[in-house]
Amino acid sequence: MVTWFNGKIERKGEFTLYRLLRFINSKRPDIVAIDSVTELGDDLKKFLRALPEGTKLVQVTGRPGEQRSLWSLAKEHNIRITDKFDPYEEAKVSALLAAKGVGYEVLAFEDEVLITVTRGRSQGKGGWSQDRYRRRVHSLIQAKVRQIEEALKRADIPFDLEIEERDYGVSRGEFRVYASREELAGLVKPMRGGDVEIRIQPVERKVLEFVPLKAEKAIKERKSIIVGLDPGITVGIAAIDLDGNVIAVYSEKNMALSEIVRFISELGHPIIVATDVSPAPGLVEKIARSFKAQLFVPRESLKVEEKNELLRNLGISVSDDHQRDALAAAYKAYLRYKPKLEHVEAKLKEYGLWKKRNEIKALILAGYSLGEAIMKIKAKEKPREEKVTERREEVDVEQYIRRIEELEKTVKELERENAELRAIIEEQRKIIEKLERKLEEFDENVRLKVLKEREIRARDERIALLEKKLREEKRKVDILARKLAQTKKMRRLELSGKVMPLKVLKSLTWRDIEELEEEIGIKKGDVIYVENPAGAGRRIAEYLIEKKIKALVSKKQVPAIVAQELLKKKIPILIEGEDVQVIKLDEFVVVKREELKKAIERKIKEFEEEERRKELESVLRVIEEYRIERVKELIRKAEEERQ
């Protein structure tokens, strides 16, 4: 490798790929020149992806299939060669040719970027808590997608967005942004390692492209067309000429922006780019701007029935919906301008300019008036004025001889001044070399300092993260310790036999039941104490019945629906202060075992007596109904006998 800077070639030595990329990223040159990119082999894409912003990879020998010898190019551009077999000489010639604008830039990526927003870590298995976590992550992904969408809209950068909705949120969002990675700098940043992950990837071209460093030859005049576009994962393209004839209908998946532009360019020059939806998608706007064409947007999005009707009028069938939408958009645009074009054709027949109708119609669609368009066409047809050959006059040679002598004196003075300036330049060159060496040393010191500070910062961040995790673990240990102590106290109270601990619910709600289940659980034979039973419903009563609790002790009256369900299963409801006395010890609530036992037996006995009473009332009611019916029947018979 060699470097060329300010007219000075400097030999740098041999590099591995890793060291080469580090050197390029530290110097950030305008051009990395090479005689053949095939020498990079399988590392070519990796090499291009690692180049810093603004650095071009240039193949100086030309594009593939048209390559020339490095030495013939050197001879053509007057570059002196000392040894053709010296690899440093090849590197030097490549650098000098690129500096003269010789060669082709190698392009591997489109001016498009994919931004993917997904979850950052696996959710694993779990129950209710896991479901809540999943919903939270989907909500975070949705918020991040909306944030990126707003940033792109504010920056007026066109894009397409596809999302996967899940659990009242978004599980995945993918943006196809029609801009280079450099245009997104500061707008969207990649994220890794958290609940949400953002990946930013440039879109690779299907094949490498080679673009000349110097401007290409002027594009030949092409046929004017109206183009309809249906963007998305599958892109639909349709083209119609200015007479309303269909030129092409095409669709393809995952077409890059450059491929769409190339396909349209091969068909002709678009005067109008049309879409079938309102407002116009970002990709359609960008393609219209790239061709400097007018953008046609319908007043409201075309309906499927209207699109089918347009295609029936054309008498053309298409392969898929994307082709249909593109062709309908192009034909709708043509119909919008058709009356104007027909009026222009009628005028051109009167003026005898029928042969130039397509050029004039294209100018009118581009915004010119009919008169301006005709004047522009006629101006092109004006023959060039013939050059008038001037007669040569006799020349006075003496004055030119005197002028030559004066110029010779001036040349000698300039040569002397040039020698003085060369000496000054040589002195300045030495000063520059000295300063460059100092600058390199300073850069190296700064780089080491930056690396050291970066390592210290990373270490501090790691320490802070570990301290945070330690605090969280300590908090968990404290909670578990309190729970363990509570369980031990409850167990001792149970073993004492005198009192029975109750499992406490502040309110009879699902949230408090879930917390009690997570802390100590609800099992068969438990007695539950509720401070506030208001608001409970049938599902909570059924849940307690499924758990086969022994009894429910409440500070207040239980809702009727809950009481009915528990009474059906003979689960007694005891009111604090009326049926049983509750004793509160720190975080525990206990009752005397004998008192609780008697209260439960009394309630069960009341249940049974109530059931017997209801059964007796039912039997007596049946007997009474039978007696009444019998009396009615006897009265009816007596009346019949009297008659």
pLDDT one-digit tens code per residue, 100-122: 888 888 888 777 888 999 987 76
Of the candidates 234, 118, 114, 232, the one whose C-alpha atom is nearest the C-alpha of residue 166 is 118
Range of the domain at 358: 224-369+374-379
Write the pLDDT tens digit of every residue in 142-153.
Answer: 889 999 988 888
Is the model's pLDDT at 22 over the cut of 80?
Answer: yes
Q: Which of 53, 77, 102 is the last residue of a domain?
A: 102
Whether 259 and 324 share a structural domain: yes
Tokens of 614: 């209801």
Of the candidates 557, 558, 564, 523, the one whose C-alpha atom is nearest the C-alpha of residue 542 is 564
Is the model's pLDDT at 396 over the cut of 60?
Answer: no
Cα–Cα distance for residue pair 422/428, rounded to 1 Å: 10
Task: For residue 122, give the CATH number of its domain.
Answer: 3.30.70
Whether 267 and 310 share a structural domain: yes
Q: Which of 68, 102, 136 is the last residue of a domain?
A: 102
| Residue 128 belongs to a domain | yes
- How many other CB atoms sit within 10 Å of the CB of residue 350? 8
Whether 235 and 363 share a structural domain: yes
The answer to whether the bond into 64 is cis (omega within 30° of 0) is no
Is the model's pLDDT at 384 over the cut of 50?
Answer: no
Work out the mean pLDDT of the chain and round it to a whole number. Answer: 82
Is the model's pLDDT at 385 over the cut of 60?
Answer: no
- Per the document, the length of the chain is 643
Cα–Cα distance for residue pair 188/80, rounded to 1 Å: 49
Is the model's pLDDT at 276 over the cut of 90?
Answer: yes
Whether 131 and 240 share a structural domain: no
Band of residue 331 on the pLDDT scale cut at 50, 70, 90: very high
Is the model's pLDDT at 133 over the cut of 80?
Answer: no
Of the candidates 227, 228, 223, 248, the one whose C-alpha atom is nearest the C-alpha of residue 357 is 223
**Cα dihedral: 281, 236, 118, 159 (round 10):** -30
pTM listed for this prediction:
0.37
| Residue 620 belongs to a domain | no
Bridge partners (DSSP) of residue 235 are 252
Q: Helix 304-314 and helix 321-351: axis angle, to 10°? A: 50
Is the model's pLDDT at 470 over the cut of 70?
Answer: yes
Averaged pLDDT for residues 273-283:
90
Is the model's pLDDT at 270 over the cut of 70?
Answer: yes
State the pLDDT at residue 272. 92
- Rg over CA atoms, the chain: 45
Tokens of 37: 């990119």
Write the pLDDT tens digit of every residue in 189-244.
Answer: 888 877 889 988 888 777 777 877 763 332 335 688 999 999 988 899 999 998 88
Cα–Cα distance for residue pair 556/574, rounded to 1 Å: 10
Cα–Cα distance for residue pair 166/163, rounded to 1 Å: 10
Averaged pLDDT for residues 175-197:
80
More confident call, 417 vs 352: 417
Lowest-pLDDT range, 15-19, 53-57, 272-276, 391-395?
391-395
Q: Which of 64, 82, 102 is the last residue of a domain?
A: 102
State the pLDDT at residue 275. 94
SS3 497: coil
DSSP E strands in 399-526: the ranges are 499-507
The number of domains in the chain is: 5
- How many other CB atoms sit within 10 Å of the CB of residue 22? 13
The answer to whether 584 touches 577, Cβ cutoff 8 Å, is no
Question: What are the residues whose beta carbons fall under 8 Å from the beta carbon of 47, sequence distance 6 or more?
Answer: 17, 21, 40, 57
Task: For residue 530, give the CATH number of its domain.
Answer: 3.50.30
Whether 83 and 118 share a structural domain: no
Whether 173 and 303 share a structural domain: no
**What is the distance in angstroms between the CA of the first residue and the CA of the last residue of the chain?**
137
Is the model's pLDDT at 16 over the cut of 80?
Answer: yes
Strands 588-592 and 499-507: antiparallel
SS3 348: helix
Write the pLDDT tens digit of every residue in 596-640.
Answer: 888 888 888 888 787 788 888 888 888 888 888 888 888 888 888
Of the candidates 138, 254, 133, 148, the one whose C-alpha atom is nearest the C-alpha of residue 199 is 148
| Residue 358 belongs to a domain | yes
State the pLDDT at residue 617. 84
Band of residue 452 on the pLDDT scale cut at 50, 70, 90: confident
